[in-house]
Amino acid sequence: MSTSFWAKVRARGVTGIAKSAYKRAMKSATGRKEYPVSRALSIIRSRLSDTPIIVEAGAHDGSDTARLSGFFPRGQIHAFEPVPQLYIALTNQTRQLPNVIPYELALRSTSGSATLHLSEGRSDGSSSLLKPKRHLDVHPDVTFERTLQVNCLSLDDWANSNNIKRVDFAWLDLQGMEYDVLRASSKVFPTIQAIYSEVSLLEMYEGCPLYPEYRSWLESVGFQVVMEDLPWSDMGNVLFIR
């Protein structure tokens, strides 16, 4: 359901000179050569123990999963990807990484079966449990003509089933479902110390909460924004630390 950072750049048609300009802009903004994801992970690593439990929801093909494994070699990464083809890619990408546990599941506010709207065309990384809305206008070359029934678990049900007592860091790329997944968790959510989350600036999917509402709620429960990466008008990523 997710896709890696530069895959999203390609999906928006930002290549070549534009990509180089964006890299230069980020270098200028940070004073370092780190790109946003690496910078966020460096911040998180400085705040957590060296054995964190990590949930990556929307693992796509495992590219970011492998990066998480490298940043946190003594951590445990639980990677969720419900699209069968992408799950195969995820398992192939992480087969040699003993600290990665993949799940062919979607995280949702409630457990059970649900309809996933499959993204195809220019991007296979925009599938969502929510129906596309502004996404159809903003990215007309990404289509949603097919659906798929997928198995879902809530964060708390997954933790109970696997005897997980805490999650230190949540990496969430759920195409509009991030807020609902966290709000539904009464046991796991209070243990989370860091969240790197995709946020919606437009209603890309029907009913998805927009960034101001999501941010306001997280701030009300003790999180603060440490880093924003909002290079596009529709969606971006934000690092929250408790």
DSSP symbol at 27: H
Cβ atoms of 7 and 125 closer than 8 Å: yes
Q: How far apart are CA 191 and CA 200, in angstroms?
A: 24
Helix (H/G/I), strand (E/B), else coil: 127: coil
Tokens encoding 110: 């409630």
pLDDT for the residue 158: 98
End-to-end CA distance of the chain: 26
Residue of 3, 40, 44, 37 lying closest to 23 (CA atoms): 37
pLDDT for the residue 3: 53
Sheet harboring 169-172: ordered strands across? 100-103, 76-80, 53-57, 169-172, 194-200, 235-241, 224-229
Low pLDDT (below 50) residues in the chain: 5-34
The CATH number of the domain covering residues in 5-93+165-186+195-241: 3.40.50.150
pLDDT for the residue 182: 98
Tokens encoding 191: 């243990």
Alpha-carbon torsion (55, 163, 168, 108), positive or negative? positive
Q: Whole-model pTM?
A: 0.87
φ/ψ of residue 11, rounded to 5? -60, -25
Cβ atoms of 73 and 147 closer than 8 Å: no
**Domain extents in the chain:** 5-93+165-186+195-241
Cβ atoms of 190 and 196 closer than 8 Å: no
**Type of residue found at 200:** S
CA 185 to centroid of chain Cα atoms: 17
